[in-house]
């Protein structure tokens, strides 16, 4: 089965991102495909490269990056949601004349159409968050 995943909450504050990650791992482990993980609302905070969690805690962002490296999973942040919350890739940093970019490795920033496209192409969309 081809899954699309939506993460609607930020890391640490809420379980949604952890559950989505474990769901993605389990789906891939069972031989399914994860077409895309789309991060929306506060979910875009999963893609910040500037989080420094305690050493004895999981790194939510690093885990997503590893998943992308291992399985080529497409990790997409909504551009409008990311911009208003301060998550920028290098192109957006330049375009908006900001001092730094902070998009973590393995993620990309794109339009909200990527969410709708995932819903159309995937056999099942699974949303995590309230």
Give residues in contact with other proteins (CB under 8 A). Answer: 40-41, 78, 80-81, 111-113, 115-117, 119-121, 123, 125, 127
Quick one: angle between helices 16-29 and 60-71, nearest 10? 20
Specify the residue, 38 or 64, whose C-beta has the smaller distance to other proteins. 38
CB of 107 to other proteins, least distance (A): 19
Specify the residue, 52 or 120, whose C-beta has the smaller distance to other proteins. 120
Nearest-angstrom CA–CA distance, 48 and 108? 11
Specify the residue, 92 or 117, whose C-beta has the smaller distance to other proteins. 117
CB of 97 to other proteins, least distance (A): 23
Specify the residue, 94 or 124, whose C-beta has the smaller distance to other proteins. 124
Q: How far from chain centre, in Å, is Cα 74?
A: 8
CB of 8 to other proteins, least distance (A): 8
Alpha helices in 49-109 (DSSP H): 60-71, 79-85, 90-95
Start-to-end CA span in the chain (Å): 25
Nearest-angstrom CA–CA distance, 31 and 51? 31
Give the CA-trace dihedral at 34, 47, 20, 53, to 10 degrees: 140
Q: Is 99 a catalytic residue?
A: no
CB of 93 to other proteins, least distance (A): 22
Catalytic residue among 16, 24, 78, 104: 78
Catalytic positions:
78
């Amino acid at each position: 089965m081809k899954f699309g995943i939506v993460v609607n909450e930020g890391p640490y504050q809420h379980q949604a991102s952890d559950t989505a990650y474990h769901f993605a791992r389990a789906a891939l482990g069972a031989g399914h495909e994860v077409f895309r993980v789309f991060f929306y609302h506060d979910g875009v905070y999963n893609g910040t490269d500037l989080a420094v969690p305690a050493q004895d805690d999981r790194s939510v962002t690093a885990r997503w990056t590893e998943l992308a490296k291992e399985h080529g999973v497409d990790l997409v942040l909504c551009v409008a949601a990311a911009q208003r919350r301060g998550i920028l890739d290098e192109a957006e940093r330049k375009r908006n004349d900001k001092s730094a970019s902070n998009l973590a490795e393995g993620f990309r920033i794109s339009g909200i159409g990527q969410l709708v496209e995932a819903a159309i192409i995937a056999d099942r969309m699974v949303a995590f968050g309230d």
